[in-house]
Amino acid sequence: METGADAGARGLSGPTAAPMTTILYQHSSSLQHEMPPGHPERPDRIRAIHHALSTEDFADLDRQAAPEASLEALTLAHPAEWVDAIVASAPAAGMMQVDADTIMSPGTLEAARRGVGGAMAAVDAVFAKEADNAFVATRPPGHHAEKTQAMGFCFFNTAAIAARHAQRRHGAERVAIMDFDVHHGNGTQDIFWDDASVLYASTHEMPLYPGTGHLSERGVHDTIVNAPLPADSDGAAFRAAMEARILPRIDAFKPDLIVISAGFDAHDRDPLSSLRLLEPDFAWATARLMDLADRHAAGRLISVLEGGYDLRGLSSSVAAHVATLMGRNALAATA
């Protein structure tokens, strides 16, 4: 049941302010990153998102092709030698297993580079005031990719590279990354563990893969903020954790840009987790982060797709997320 405060939150119900300008970055290469039959991180995820965003509610969404990031851009978060090793590993045919559940096909490298390129373009767009915010709907995801380790379906850490790009290209002094994927973003935490200029905050189920994300993991400069949730936690528990631990820390950090690692596998339907979030919870979190971006970052916010493996839950949650970014009634968009 929504509370009165929930009903008044941006994008949830009632009259809204002027529509936001939102760019959707996507690319057909996301469909060419192939997986073995039965793998949850499959091309149908992108097809489901495309279908959800093809309705009249999203007719005026600005859709742009994600550019391909240069190999040099990947070194914003990963050593050049490691990037070279991943590139050299890309198969010309068939599939190559990187770890137990991370697999490269001939289309993987371009897909991953397009995801990074889309996130960098999104950063450029919000700093140039070409858009209020942006959503990058590409795969593979990125938040498990550590400095020198591809894992958990991830190769390059898209959110981390976007944050570094904002700092290098646009002079952002502080960037906040909020990760509401059900799995802890060990890669993003690894990259920014000793960096005072980037705040990494995460809600996630625990215990669950990859086993990191304890409350005690705070980083060298206390800029790592974890809010683990036990199995079967619902939207009320998620919102309480956000209100108690995450939102106040982002507010106090006063970021020049907010990056969302937008995983939707905390949805009640998702097969890889046991949290019970629903579409209004993702819309609520999006709206609260937009409020903080308005307060500190001139509205600058970008979102990059991470997990979400039940196609129905993924598509409806993305619709709620994007509708909120656009300043629309998120619940109407998912009805």
Q: Which residues are part of the catalytic machinery?
A: 144
Residue 50's identity, in one-letter code, is H
Concatenate the DSSP letters of all residues of 256-288 into one string: SEEEEEE--TTBTT-TT---BB-HHHHHHHHHH
Tokens of 269: 């339907």
Q: 88: which DSSP letter?
A: H
DSSP 38: T
Cβ neighbors of 143 (< 8 A, separation 6 or more) are 154, 157, 158, 159, 179, 181, 183, 185, 186, 187, 188, 261, 263, 306
Strand, helix or coil for residue 231: coil
From CA 99, how far away is CA 81, in angstroms rounded?
A: 19
